[in-house]
């Protein structure tokens, strides 16, 4: 039983973490909200000290009506959706494969998860140059070997190329989580189904997939949160050109390149709302798990 | 009953898994291999897999060009500092939530998780302003604090799920034997919690090491860690594949090695305990 003393001690011990996170969340958030309602162009002399002009919802309206807004939303959706689809489908197949008895399972596992530990700037630059360079990249060598014309990946297929790079980074994560989930599958149930003569696809559809449902949902939610804020991979490859400007990157450009803080902040608020919609679903699942 | 597997089937799975594993690993393998070639050999067509003159000159060139050791040291300080600071703040919090839970514990945990969902780009400008105001721009101290705050929710969550697994009966038994709170923490809890704390440190060190939004946006010459060091290779300059490879190899090797030890914790840490 927790005594009254230990309870107040507990509250005291939680204080630093709670206070720090509260500050980290509220201070920048309030500033962003404030800026989003003002005209704030530091290069034209606007500054907090001199006072910012209140412009109401003008920035919000302008951000929405700008010609780059909808394309950026579309790019974001295609990128997140594409990476999710690739990592989930390949992840499930790979997890099932890795769950089978084989020689050198430990080594294969290490090979498969390695990309997750490569820092984003490295994986983006290695793919951009060593693999996707239209003249000297491995893909160009391979294409020429088969008599095909090498592709200028990051120009002509820029969005798909970035999806490929990001999928390579996140496939290990999906695989690892799905593998962990598969390993907790009751193998006797599968054997019983096998002995009853249920074909492979049926066994997968009726036993494996339902068992993985929760893990799949978690992979989707967590990856979505990380993928919505993909930055370095675009920053060092295309710099947002050739139709790879996501919402995150658009906001980044508004704030850093054009130094339009008001407009960028309004965009930031949209991004925060978008991320929170995803977050609510994730929290529900994690929260349920806390009760169990 | 264990499943009987024919030898033939095992051979097919082995071949398939190894092929896929090697394809996935190929970009890393290729980078490491290329780092030992000369620039001319690096772009040779057909690609050279074995027969080339192994050289270490790229490593020397990379160090000469931009003082790799300085960036490495920044990475170590920033990733290590933010992790240790985060652990120090999180241990008491996670300990109290695991052992003295109240009605609000769950809400606090979920709220902490929710701060992780704040898109960084949405608060980039305010944070830069604060950094300018407090002279933190391009300092390691500033990044240590930011990365600590970013990873704090994950640290608290991981520690919480580990502490939760320590059976409460052991604490009661210790109390019955007359252990004081201090003794209880030092001699009973700590030894049982050390593996969990170690895995938490490991995973968060890796996450902080690879963080590439704040490290790119809040540093310039002084405090830039390896993520920024590598980004400086993003504008091509003549033949540079071998140098890029050497720089990349140096940036990822320490973390690849650490990462292999943290496979299991990765799942628990990044799913906030929802998948174990």
Question: Exposed, middle or buried: residue A50 (CB in 10 Å: 0-12, 13-18, 19+)?
Answer: exposed
What are B75-95's pLDDT values in tens digits?
Answer: 999 999 999 999 999 998 998
Please name the residue that has the structure tokens 């005209």: A39
Here the tokens at position B33 are: 């291999």
Please give the average per-residue pLDDT across B129-137, as a whole number.
Answer: 88
A273: tokens are 């709302």
Residues of chain B positioned with their CB less than 8 A from the CB of A181: 275
Those residues of chain A that have pLDDT short of 70 are 1-5, 289-292
Given CATH 1.10.3720.10, say whether it is the number of domain B66-225+252-270. Answer: yes
Class of residue A95 by CB neighbours under 10 A (exposed 0-12, middle 13-18, buried 19+): buried
Given B1, B31, B127, which is nearest A126 (Cβ)? Answer: B31
Q: Domain of A286?
A: 4-291
Q: Quick check: A203 contacting B, CB < 8 Å?
A: no
Mean pLDDT of chain B: 85
CA torsion A279-A284-A286-A289 (nearest 10°) is 180
Q: What is the 3-state secondary structure (H, E, C) of B72-134?
A: HHHHHHHHHHHHHHHHHHHHHHHHHHHHCCCCCHHHHHHHHHHHCCCCHHHHHHHHHHHHHHC
Round to whole Å and give the CA distance between A152 and B155.
Answer: 42
- DSSP classification of residue A196: T
CB A171 within 8 Å of CB A86: yes
Q: Cα(A113)–Cα(A118) distance, rounded to whole angstroms?
A: 10
Check residue A267 and give its pLDDT.
92
Any B CB within 8 A of A100 CB: yes
Give dist(CA B33, CA B242) in Å, integer: 9
Contact criterion met (CB < 8 Å) for A276 and B20:
no
Q: What residue of B is the nearest CA neighbor of A103?
A: B14
Q: How many domains does chain A have?
A: 1
Q: Is the ipTM of this complex over 0.90?
A: no
**Test mutation, B145, B216, B275, chain A, max A CBs within 10 A:** B275
| Burial of residue B60 (number of CB atoms within 10 Å: 0-12, 13-18, 19+) | exposed
The verdict on a CB contact (< 8 Å) between B96 and A10 is: yes
Task: Report CB contact under 8 Å: A17, B110.
Answer: no
pLDDT of B51 higher than 70: no
Chain B: closest CA distance from residue A124 (Å): 9
For tokens 């996707």, name the residue.
A132
3-state helix, strand, coil in chain A (%, to 5): 75, 0, 25
The pLDDT tens digits of the residues spanning B189-224 come to 778 888 888 888 988 998 899 888 898 888 887 888
pLDDT at B276: 65
Q: In chain A, at which residue ranges do the beta strands (DSSP E only) sit? A: 38-39, 53-54
CA dist., res. B100 & res. A7, Å (int) = 6
Contact predicate B183/B213, CB 8 Å? no
pLDDT for B4: 59
Over chain A, what is the mean pLDDT?
A: 86
Residue A292: how many CA atoms within 13 Å on its side-chain side?
A: 10
Check residue A222 and give its pLDDT: 83
Q: Which of A144-158, A218-232, B149-163, B259-273 has the lowest mean pLDDT?
A: B259-273
Among B271, B272, B273, B276, the strongest candidate for a mutation testing the A interface, having the largest count of A CBs within 10 A, is B271
Q: Read out DSSP for B139-176?
A: -HHHHHHHHHHHHHHHHHHHHHHHHHTS-HHHHHHHHH
CA dist B21 and A111 (Å) reads 5
CATH number of the domain to which A102 belongs: 1.10.3720.10
Report, as an integer, the average pLDDT of B47-52. 74
Token pair 């993003």: residue: B234
Q: Which residues sit opposite A39 in a β-bridge?
A: A53
Q: Where are the domains of chain B?
A: 66-225+252-270
Give ∠ CA A149-A155-A158 in degrees, rounded to 5.
110
C-beta separation of A268 from B122 below 8 A: yes
């Amino acid at each position: 039983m927790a005594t009254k003393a230990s309870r107040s001690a507990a509250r005291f011990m939680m204080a630093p973490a709670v206070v720090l996170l509260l500050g980290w969340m509220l201070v920048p958030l309030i500033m962003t909200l404030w800026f989003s309602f003002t005209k704030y162009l530091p290069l034209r002399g606007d500054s907090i000290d001199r006072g910012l002009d209140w412009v109401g919802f003008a920035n919000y309206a302008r951000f929405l009506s700008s010609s780059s807004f909808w394309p950026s939303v579309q790019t974001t959706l295609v990128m997140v959706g594409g990476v999710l689809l690739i990592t989930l489908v390949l992840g499930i197949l790979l997890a099932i494969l890795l769950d089978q008895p084989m020689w050198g399972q430990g080594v294969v596992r290490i090979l498969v998860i390695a990309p997750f530990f490569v820092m984003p700037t490295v994986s983006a630059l290695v793919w951009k140059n060593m693999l996707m360079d239209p003249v000297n990249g491995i893909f160009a060598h391979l294409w020429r070997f088969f008599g095909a014309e090498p592709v200028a990946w990051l120009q002509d297929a820029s969005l798909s190329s970035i999806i490929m790079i990001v999928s390579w980074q996140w496939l290990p994560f999906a695989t690892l989580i799905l593998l962990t989930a598969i390993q907790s599958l009751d193998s006797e149930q599968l054997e019983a189904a096998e002995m009853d003569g249920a074909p492979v696809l049926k066994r997968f559809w009726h036993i494996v997939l339902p068992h993985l449902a929760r893990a799949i949902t978690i992979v989707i939610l967590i990856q979505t949160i990380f993928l919505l804020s993909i930055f370095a991979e675009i920053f060092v490859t295309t710099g947002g050109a050739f139709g790879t400007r996501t919402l995150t990157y658009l906001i980044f450009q508004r704030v850093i390149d054009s130094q339009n803080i008001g407009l960028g902040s309004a965009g930031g608020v949209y991004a925060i709302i978008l991320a929170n919609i995803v977050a609510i679903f994730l929290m529900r699942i994690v929260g349920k798990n806390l009760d169990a | 009953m264990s499943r009987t597997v024919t030898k033939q089937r095992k051979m097919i799975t082995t071949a398939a898994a190894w092929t896929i594993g090697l394809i996935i690993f190929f970009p890393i393998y290729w980078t490491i291999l290329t780092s030992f070639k000369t620039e001319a050999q690096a772009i040779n067509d057909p690609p050279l897999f074995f027969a080339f003159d192994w050289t270490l000159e790229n490593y020397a060139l990379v160090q000469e060009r931009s003082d790799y050791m300085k960036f490495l040291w920044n990475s170590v300080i920033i990733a290590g500092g933010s992790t240790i600071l985060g652990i120090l703040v999180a241990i008491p919090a996670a300990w109290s939530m695991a052992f003295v839970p109240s009605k609000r514990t769950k809400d606090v945990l979920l709220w902490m998780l929710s701060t992780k969902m704040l898109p960084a780009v949405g608060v980039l400008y305010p944070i830069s302003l604060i950094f300018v105001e407090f002279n933190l721009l391009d300092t390691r101290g500033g990044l240590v604090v930011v990365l600590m705050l970013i990873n704090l929710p994950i640290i608290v969550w991981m520690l919480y799920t580990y502490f939760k697994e320590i059976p409460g009966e052991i604490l009661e038994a210790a109390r019955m034997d007359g252990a004081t709170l201090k003794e209880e923490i030092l001699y009973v809890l700590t030894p049982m919690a050390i593996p969990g704390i170690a895995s938490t440190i490991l995973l968060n060190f890796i996450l902080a090491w690879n963080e590439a939004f704040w490290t790119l946006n809040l540093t310039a010459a002084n405090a830039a860690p390896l993520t920024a060091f590598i980004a400086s290779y993003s504008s091509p300059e003549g033949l540079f594949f071998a140098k890029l490879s050497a720089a990349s190899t140096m940036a990822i090797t320490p973390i690849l090695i650490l990462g292999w030890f943290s496979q299991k914790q990765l799942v628990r840490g990044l799913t906030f305990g929802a998948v174990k």
